[in-house]
Amino acid sequence: MAASPLQGVGLGLRHAHYPDFLNAKQPVDWLEVHSENYFGDGGFDLHVLLRLRTDYPLSLHGVGLGIGSASPLSTVHLSRLKALIERTEPAAVSEHLCWNAAGGVYANELLPLPMQRNLLDWMAARVQQVQEFLGRSIALENVSSYIRFQDADMTEAEFLVELARRTGCGVLLDINNLYVSQWNHGTDAKSELLHYLTLPAQQITEIHLAGHRHKTTLLFDTHDRPVADPVWDLFRFACQHGAAAVPAMIERDADIPPLLDLLQELQYIREIRAACGSQA
User: What are 203-215's pLDDT values in tens digits?
Assistant: 999 999 999 998 8
Where does the pLDDT of residue 4 fall: very low under 50, low under 70, confident under 90, or very high at 90 and above? low
Whose CA is closest to 61, among 9, 13, 131? 13
Average pLDDT over residues 238-251: 97
pLDDT of residue 67: 86
End-to-end Cα separation, the chain, in angstroms? 22
Contact of 256 with 14, CB cutoff 8 Å: yes
Contact of 66 with 95, CB cutoff 8 Å: no
Residues 136-186 pLDDT 10s: 999 999 998 877 777 878 999 999 999 999 999 999 999 999 999 998 888
pLDDT of residue 102: 55
Q: Is 214 helix (H, G, I), strand (E, B) or coil?
A: strand
Whose CA is closest to 156, among 208, 109, 191? 191
The reported pTM is 0.94
Contact of 100 with 109, CB cutoff 8 Å: yes
Q: CA dihedral defined by 156, 157, 162, 163, rounded to 10 degrees? A: 60
Where does the pLDDT of residue 1 fall: very low under 50, low under 70, confident under 90, or very high at 90 and above? very low
Q: Is 262 helix (H, G, I), strand (E, B) or coil?
A: helix
9-275: which CATH topology? TIM Barrel (3.20.20)
Domain segments of the chain as ranges: 9-275
pLDDT of residue 80: 97
pLDDT of residue 8: 97
Q: CA dihedral defined by 145, 137, 167, 177, rounded to 10 degrees? A: -10
Contact of 176 with 231, CB cutoff 8 Å: yes
Non-local CB neighbours of 240 within 8 Å, separated by 6+ positions: 276
Whose CA is closest to 112, among 154, 73, 68, 78? 68
Where does the pLDDT of residue 101 fall: very low under 50, low under 70, confident under 90, or very high at 90 and above? low
Residues 172-196 pLDDT 10s: 999 999 999 998 888 899 999 999 9
The secondary structure of residue 240, as a DSSP letter, is I
